[in-house]
Structure formats: structure tokens, C-alpha cells
Structure 1
Amino acid sequence: MEINNVLQRELKDSWYVKYEEMSFPAVQKGWVLPPDRWKDFDPFILMAEDWFKRGTFSEHPHRGFQTITYVIDGRLEHTDNHGGHDILEAGDVQYMNAGWAALHAEEAVDNDIAHTLQLWLNLPKHQKNTPTTYQNVYIENVPTVSFDGGAVHVYSGNIEGLKGPIESVVPFTLTEISLSDGASYNLRLPENHNGFIYMLSGDVEFGHNQKSLKKTAVATLTYKENGIDTKESELRLKANARSKVLVYTGVPIKEEIVAYGPFVMNTMEEIKQAYTDYHSGLFSKKG
């Protein structure tokens, strides 16, 4: 539906995350975006919500995609093969371009239980061998737009005239929207971006169809597949309770992928080469 030549976004598909208890030192896991539906989520591949103790995600490799890790609660300690080390807290985000050869660890600090969302964002074939980079974004450095009854934190992309600090190889938008009970907001997004929302808390009605979602709900969004970056669409939100929601969008890459273990490539032969390179020590030489 269009109003005044502006595409009105609606929820396309929605579900609630199902969680399972894990073996120590992991605690609990849920698939926000299940990995077997990546074609529906393109350019996104999967998103996991994890609660974990130290020792769950010790040093491990990646190649061929990007990660966006949002810390919900607890403290997350990051170390990598480029000499990076930092501790992220609630509301902070780490962006990683695994590119050619990432080798890193993501650990809870001390006796904390870290609670995170990690999104995998695909790289197109011609960018899978790009240099590995890491970027930590702290909540106090995220530009914010206030409106009557709420605020929008812009982590990535251009929203409300503000540019988010994340410098991504593949452009995407990431906003966190906080609403008080009864507040409304219209989020403007590029019309050709595929996207999804995740409910961190509360109860929100989305779109002109007023579909209500509560905490731990996920929904994909309608979009214009043949639209253009420079033309905006609109997603309507109205809170029925104090709420917080994350919105992620990006342009589909439309390439076949093979996701196997910690690698995302275009063919199984490339996956085998990634394992060969890792076991031969090439990943550790990239720091």
C-alpha cells in the first residue's frame, strides 16, 4: 500500500522465538532468524540469541560474511587476531567484517552471564576476500533522535538525517526504538530494503494493519523489490505498553550461498578451502 506515493510497510511473517537450555558453559539459545530461511532474510543469514558463561565462544574462525553483535545484558569481552581487545556492555554493538580470515573470541566477563543477539550479514561473492575489520560501537556514542514519547538510536544507516557510526562493507540500517505506553512513531526506511524487527520488550502495533507483537516476537517486513535506495518507505509503530524494538534492513544480494560451520561462501569447494586455510595456520597470520 502507498500513501502519498510512499510505500507503507506491513508485517509479512511473524513468529515468537523458541528457546532451549544448553550445556554448560552455554546457558540458553534461541534462533531469532532460523538459518534454513536465509533466502527470505537476504542479505541477512541468521540471528541467534544467546545466554552464556565464559568458555562458550572461545577462539574460533570466520570467513565470507559480517556479524553484528548487540549486547542485551551482561558484559562481553572481545579479542581478535588483529590485536583487538575490548569489553562491551548493554546497548553496545560490535560490527565485524570477517572477510578473508577472522579469528576471534567472544566471552562473558568473570562470572557474568552474557546475553547477546548476533546477526550474520552476507557478503557478495566479490567481497568475501576483503580485509578483516572490527568496530566497537558504544551506546553513548550512538546518535539519537527524540520524539514525543520515545527515542530512536541510529547504529547504522541514515535515519532521521543522522548517520549511524557503523561502517559496514555491505550497507544496512540498524535502529533501536524505545516507546512509552501509547506513543506512536513512523520509521522511514529505503523502500528497496528487505528487513525484520525483533521485540526486546513490550507490546507494539505495526503497520496500518495494526498487527500487535510482544516481547521475543520476530517479523519480516514487506518491501519493494525493484525499488530504489533514495526513495523512502514508512513503518508505523504504536505502543500498547512501554516497549523497545530493534529494526534491521538491507538490500538483498541475491546470490546462492553455502553456510557450513563458521564459514559462509558461495560453493562447497570454497568452504573446503576455508577449512584448509584455517588448519594450515593462515588465519592466525592475518593479525
Structure 2
Amino acid sequence: MTESESQASTDGPLSGERVRHGTGVNSTRAFPTESYPDNLDPFVLFEQFYIDPDKGFPMHPHRGFEIVSYMIEGGMEHEDSLGVANTAYENDAMRITTGSGIRHSEFPADGQACTGLQLWVNLPQAKKDTEPDYGDATADALPTAEQGGATITTVIGEGSPISLHTPMEYLDVSVADAWTWSVPAEWSGFLYGVSGSGTVAGQSFTDGDFLPATDSRSVTLQSDESLRVVAVSGRPHGEPIRQRGPYVL
């Protein structure tokens, strides 16, 4: 991914694209992809990963951004150069502030495959060299509530023990009937389909689909029988996002 200052626009959902990492790990990437080649300020990339028992990410470096990993199925073992070792299981979350530089590894736990979601959030230039840091939360520490026709878990946002240097919200939403998602004024965001099927603003939406929102808007999600999505939004930094492999400059 090369330097990006502008953002593509779309009126409807896009399909995520399959990515195979050099370590043999497969992902469905929402962005950046061929169909949506830009970042989504303040977000650098988002993907759903699938790690087989004999695969994973050996110790490798990162700097210049923050990572949010949220587990969907199975467990993932994390170790890093700060001396942290943690295993996250279904609906657990981990946050890494890479800042001036950190090394970490990610492998499936208990000899079983795992699936999760990973979001990269840019750090503003003034905080690129901040001290690296790590935090996590188990599923029972993340607030969950019923709202209309949906069950919503707040991964990042009001009530969550996890926070980032960027004002943002990250919701895990299981839609049983209908639910309306609103992006705050002057924020950008996206929806990603985790499982099930339904419609978003009247258009078909299923697992692996992605709907970007680069301005404030409200969209209604309708479930067929079950529809699980994540709804992510944040305040843009208004700065170029320069991704160079594992670094965001």
C-alpha cells in the first residue's frame, strides 16, 4: 500500500478480498483492497484472519499505529518485546500501541485453529514516537446491552476498559431484527459482516462484506435470520497515512 491522502467513495457494500500472508495465514481484507484501494482515515486497514494450528505470525516488528485484535472463534497467543504474554479467546480483545516500536508474535492456542478481526488505527504524527504499550479485556469486561432489535457489545467506546489515542467506537452487533447505525458528525467509519446475512440500507449484506462511510450518515441494518457485524467509527487525523509493510510512518 502506497501513500494515500484521498479516500475512495462507494454508495453500497463491497466484498472483502482474500489475502494470503507470507506466513501462510489467510485473511478476508475489507480495506485497502483493489476495489477499495485507500485507507479510511484514521483507520489503516481491517481484516478477518483465519489461522490454522500449524500457522501463525512469528516475532515481527511494528511502529507508528495501534492494533486492535478481537477474537471470533478459538484462541490466539500473543507475546511481545514488552514481556507481555496473553491468550485471547472468543470475544476477548487486545490493544497494542506500537508507538516508537514493538515486536510481537501471534499463534493459535491449544492446537486449534482460530479466527479473529484485526484493525490498525493510525497514530497522529505528534504521537508516532510514543512509548509502546499493551492492554486487553476479556469478554465479560466488555459492556453488552440490548438496543432495539440488536445485541451490542462495546469493544471500544463508552464503558469499555480499552481506549486508544484516537477517539473512536468499535461495536460488535448481533442484529435479530433491525438496527440503525449512525456515524458521528465529522467522523468516518465502516461496517463489516462477520456472519449471517441481511440488508444494509436495503442492499444485500453478508459475511465478508464491507460498507465504508466517509461522512456522517445513518444506515439501517435488517437481518434475514441472523446478522453479526462490527460497526467502527473514529475521528480522522486529517494527515497522510503512509504504510510501509509493518510500519505506518
TM-score, normalisation: structure 2: 0.86
What is the CA-CA distance between 1:148 and the residue it aligns to? 4.7
What is the CA-CA distance between 1:234 and the residue it aligns to? 3.6
What is the CA-CA distance between 1:122 and the residue it aligns to? 0.6
1:223 has 2:223 as partner: no
AA at the equivalent of 2:223: A
AA at the equivalent of 1:206: V
AA at the equivalent of 1:258: R
In percent, how many aligned pairs have the same letter?
Answer: 25
What is the CA-CA distance between 1:14 and the residue it aligns to? 2.1
Q: 1: CA distance between counterparts of 2:200 and 2:180?
A: 10
Question: Does the 8 A contact of 2:191 with 2:229 survive in 1?
Answer: yes
What is the CA-CA distance between 1:65 and the residue it aligns to? 0.5
1:132 has 2:124 as partner: no
1:60 has 2:60 as partner: yes
1:172 has 2:164 as partner: no
Judged with a 3 Å threshold, the aligned counterparts in structure 2 of structure 1 residues 31 and 101 are, in CA distance, closer, same or farther, namely: same
Whose helix fraction is larger, Structure 1's or Structure 2's?
1
The SS at the match of 1:126 is helix
Deviations 1:180-213 (A, max 9, x none): 2xx1122344222101111111223223xx2221
What is the CA-CA distance between 1:30 and the residue it aligns to? 2.4
Q: 2: CA distance between counterparts of 1:55 and 1:237?
A: 35
What is the CA-CA distance between 1:43 and the residue it aligns to? 0.8
Aligned to 1:238: 222
Q: 1: CA distance between counterparts of 2:20 and 2:165?
A: 34
Deviations 1:64-105 (A, max 9, x none): 011111112121001112221111111111111101111111
Question: Does the 8 A contact of 2:78 with 2:107 survive in 1?
Answer: yes
What is the CA-CA distance between 1:166 and the residue it aligns to? 1.5
The SS at the match of 2:163 is coil
Question: Does the 8 A contact of 2:183 with 2:189 survive in 1?
Answer: no
Aligned to 1:90: 90
Deviations 1:123-168 (A, max 9, x none): 111010111111112111111111354311111123xxxx322111
Query: Which among 226, 241, 249 is matched to residue 257 of structure 1?
Result: 241
What is the CA-CA distance between 1:27 and the residue it aligns to? 4.5
Q: 2: CA distance between counterparts of 1:214 and 1:30?
A: 13
Judged with a 3 Å threshold, the aligned counterparts in structure 2 of structure 1 residues 137 and 35 are, in CA distance, closer, same or farther, namely: farther
Aligned to 2:154: 154
Task: Quote the RMSD (CA, aligned, Å).
Answer: 2.2
Moved more, 11-20 or 142-151: 11-20
What is the CA-CA distance between 1:26 and the residue it aligns to? 2.7
Q: 2: CA distance between counterparts of 1:54 and 1:127?
A: 36
Judged with a 3 Å threshold, the aligned counterparts in structure 2 of structure 1 residues 40 and 104 are, in CA distance, closer, same or farther, namely: closer
Say which one has the larger Rg: 1
Aligned to 2:4: none
Judged with a 3 Å threshold, the aligned counterparts in structure 2 of structure 1 residues 154 and 55 are, in CA distance, closer, same or farther, namely: same
The SS at the match of 1:240 is strand
AA at the equivalent of 1:221: A
Judged with a 3 Å threshold, the aligned counterparts in structure 2 of structure 1 residues 165 and 188 are, in CA distance, closer, same or farther, namely: farther
Q: 1: CA distance between counterparts of 2:77 and 2:57?
A: 10
Aligned to 1:214: 206
Q: 2: CA distance between counterparts of 1:200 and 1:33?
A: 15
TM-score, normalisation: structure 1: 0.76
The 5-angstrom pairing of residues 180-199 of structure 1 reads 180=176, 183-199=177-193
What is the CA-CA distance between 1:222 and the residue it aligns to? 5.0
